[in-house]
Structure 1
């Protein structure tokens, strides 16, 4: 959990403003949910490994004896927890307010979440997530809208050239069935396959053998993954060529329609790449899954997928849903420390004998004209004062004496 100095906070808010503006332009509406949810909801088996990283909140009013008596079961100690993502709260929100929402609901959520991570570069215990979700649309148009909006955000931030890796959990499950993995083996097999980028095909095959899963299935997987590497085209022929025989036609058709829709919306070839081994670890994904990549880094900048089964846990009836989360912390670290375009920001440096009333009158005059204004008393080391002001994003300064007026105020660039 981190503190942010003024320059860092300003940069983060500028990035957030761009994300909000672009998502709103694509027809999404922002909502807000509480930072806490019921313990049982956060531990309903929907959040995968993130459930193990959740911060629980001790029940109020428990004395030492009660804590000792309940210590064997965390559920007896806590009834609330800090949210570890924004998807579980959204599902609860939709179930609660469905009657007040449109049939197809497009939501923005931009807010902090908490996970008991081991702190390291790029992993924090408190971080901001920027999510967009569509509830109520089971077609590939929903996924396409999310992808087009998220690629638009990257373009608006100057991170052009982004691509989206795409797969489908139904294709993954069918592929494992074709290889011969038993149904009760597949969850563990997917955990290992998800390490393909880190440990390579040989490492994945070795770990699968160590798991003790079906040897014949591992042999079939090894033969498939050792085929000559190609980048499949995002069309029917390319997707089928990247998968073994036996994948359901409706799954392939859904992916093909997705590619065509994104290409039409972007006005050029869709920046989508089919990856038959993309897994994503969240247990609630039921269909299309995707990750946002950029050529400047070797890690993803976001991702998401379809989670049609989650809403029904809270609503009592099924509702199709799909979401995309941008990795805000990763993206903000890629952007330069630039001042906002077009902002007028002025430092008024005054002598000690300048009266307060006329000084603040000058400030009010500049603020009324749309400027951001800071007042500073003249220092012995003026160079340090001006350098600090420039680092804080100010673009000009003016010296104020006892006789200075709005008409005689001379602004000079901070360079």
Structure 2
């Protein structure tokens, strides 16, 4: 017998939960639109070859593939060792790859600098665990056609403004640049060939510490002198003074002789964010030279959204100037920022529901249907939300359930009552 539970890593949402999620999404949409972004929609399914083009990092391994139509048992057996021969489509594992395809398809109808909103579910064949799902919602904003720091500053400002609007003031953005990271690894002496594996290990720095990273790098067979140079850098004597985001903080976090041009770009980014948030106090950025972010398509600035209430990121993104060119045949600068909706929604305190009255009409069994619908129509016409409920022996339980579903008032309906003349009482 089939289980009645949803598939592992996927969830049902009761009406109150769904309403709460929609209120959070409404705030996110409103703040994104206020910053000049326009919402688009792409299919949940993309071509297999596009999803497995080598630009999705480890997420490509987690893609849900769709079996080609018309395959018989022999064809399936013959293709058992070649998934690409069995599948022509797949469920999207993020919103960035579909966006790049969307831009390449519709570029002629879009402005030179296009600011997009994409909000929707994505699917990954994850191992389900707390906080990690196989189906979840992503909330992305992206800017295409702008290669200046203005794009990053707009994304960061809009994202910080959004979590402020959700009651999560005090957020900040950790910032790095893949070009700075590459320069730093080169200065330590890591070869270009071993760099992907080195980045995977360094990305664990927050979890395993310097000793753990050094040990794993050695076990990977990374260049011994480079591993020692990394260890020496991480254990160097440092003064303990606090430096706000700016050139001093950035240079202090890097080896000597960091490229002046890249440092200047990072400094300018902070100045732009500060200008966009007048009166907000200190720049809500911090430079993290070992911020990696695992997506292989990042080419420049990378960032993560942090909040003091949790020890994990609430979102992130970066510049991916090379992706759209794979579909369009010419390079287009692009940068994006994604808020982790499933993490955000669990932190947000209850938002105020729609101010329109939500009324439960409790009626006796003998009330004629035309009268019931006339009462309902009168309240709906006044802008209310109305549910019809037949009276039960346990009226208290009925009203408690209605209150849990977001209803704020009730009225009793008896046969012969005039529409619009009911006594409406609060459920509070």
Q: So what's the TM-score if we normalise by structure 1?
A: 0.97
Paired residues, number = 415
Report the alpha carbon displacement of residue 76 of structure 1 after superposing the two structures with TM.
Answer: 1.0
Distance 1:393 1:247 in 2: 56
More divergent stretch after superposition (353-362 vs 148-157): 353-362
Matched with 2:301 is 288
Q: Secondary structure at the match of 1:20?
A: helix
Superposed displacement of residue 246, structure 1: 3.3
Is contact 1:31-1:108 (8 Å) kept? Answer: yes
Task: Please show how residues 199-348 of structure 1 align to structure 2 within 5 Å.
Answer: 199-227=208-236, 228=238, 232-267=243-278, 268=280, 269-348=282-361
Tell me, in whole angstroms, the C-alpha distance in 2 between the residues paired with 1:106 and 1:338.
27
What does the per-residue CA deviation read over 1:209-238, in whole Å, with 9 as the maximum and x for residues that have no partner? 111111111111111112447764211122
1:273-327 CA deviation, whole Å, 9 max, x = no partner? Answer: 1111111000000000000111111111100000001111111111100000000
* Residue of structure 1 in register with 2:4 after alignment: none
**CA–CA distance in 2 between the matches of 1:6 and 1:253?**
50
For 2:225 and 2:174, locate their aligned partners in 1 and report how far apart those are by CA, in whole Å: 29
Cα 1:20–1:387 shift into 2, 3 Å: same
Correspondence 1:77 to 2:86? yes
Whole-angstrom CA distance in 2 between matches of 1:230 and 1:47: 40
User: Corresponding residue for 1:162?
Assistant: 171
The 3 A distance-change label for structure 1 pair 230 and 405 is farther
Q: Post-superposition shift, 1:198?
A: 0.8
Bigger drift between 354-363 and 87-96 goes to: 354-363
2: CA distance, partners of 1:49 / 1:407: 60
Aligned 8 A contact 1:232 1:241 in 2: no
Partner Cα distance (1:137, 1:197) in 2: 33
Of residues 16, 19, 32, the one that matches 2:28 is 19
Tell me what 1:55 maps to. 64
SS for the counterpart of 1:183 is coil
**CA–CA distance in structure 1, aligned partners of residues 163 and 187 of structure 2:** 38
Query: In the TM superposition, what is the alpha-carbon distance from 1:185 to its structure 2 partner?
Result: 1.3
Unaligned runs of 5+ in 2: 1-9
**Matching of residues 131-150 of structure 1 within 5 Å:** 131-150=140-159
Partner secondary structure for residue 194 of structure 2 = helix
Q: Deviations over 1:357-402 (max 9, x none)?
A: 2221111111111111111111100110011011001111111122
- The CA distance in 2 between the partners of 1:198 and 1:22, in whole Å, is 34
Q: Compute the displacement of 1:408 (Å).
A: 3.2
**Contact kept? 1:174, 1:246, Cα under 8 Å:** no
RMSD, aligned CA: 1.3
Deviation at 1:337, TM superposition (A): 4.2
TM-score (norm 2): 0.94
Aligned match for 1:96, one of 101, 105, 109? 105
SS at match of 1:184: coil
Contact 1:178 1:246 survives alignment (8 Å): no
Q: CA deviation at 1:187?
A: 1.0
- Indicate if the aligned counterparts of 1:36 and 1:81 stay in contact, CA closer than 8 A: yes
